[in-house]
Amino acid sequence: MEKLFAKFANATARATGSPLAFLICVASVVIWASVGPVFKFSETWQLVINTGTTIVTFLMVFLIQNTQNRDGAALQTKLDELILASSAENQFIGIEKLTDKELAALHAHCATQAKKSQAWLEKAQSEREKRRKPASAKAPPRSRTARAKPAS
């Protein structure tokens, strides 16, 4: 049942996210609006579009949520695999299940580490720039009174 629903949700999400589906919706609204004068813009005329859009919206919410849940789970699984395969800290595996407070604390820890890393990188860059200055830049300027050799 789950595989069948997943296939249905994926197919529906692809179809309803297409340009053709958008054009069909625009055409439906244009047709509905153009027959308004025929029905004298009655309550029934308004009820048709309201009911139709409500039903479609209601059903699409569940399909979109299902698709996002699967995409999110797949993304988290891929990130967990990358963490395991790298030298990153394993404490980040499964953090999507933490509370907001726990996530905020972990985020603060990462922000602190990032600032330390940035400071270290800036210090290293500064040291590199000091070493790269040419020797002529360190030499004192020549006197203005020194004369050039005459041409021979």
H-state helical runs in the chain: 2-16, 19-34, 43-85, 100-132, 135-138
Q: Supply the pTM of this predicted model.
A: 0.57
CA atoms within 13 Å, Cβ hemisphere of 94: 2
| 16 touches 22 (CB < 8 A) | no
CB-based contacts of 72, cutoff 8 Å, min separation 6: 96
Tens place of pLDDT per residue across the chain (152 aa) = 888 988 888 888 889 989 999 999 999 999 999 999 999 999 999 999 999 999 999 999 998 898 899 899 999 999 889 988 988 878 888 888 889 999 999 899 989 989 999 999 999 999 999 888 765 555 555 655 555 555 55
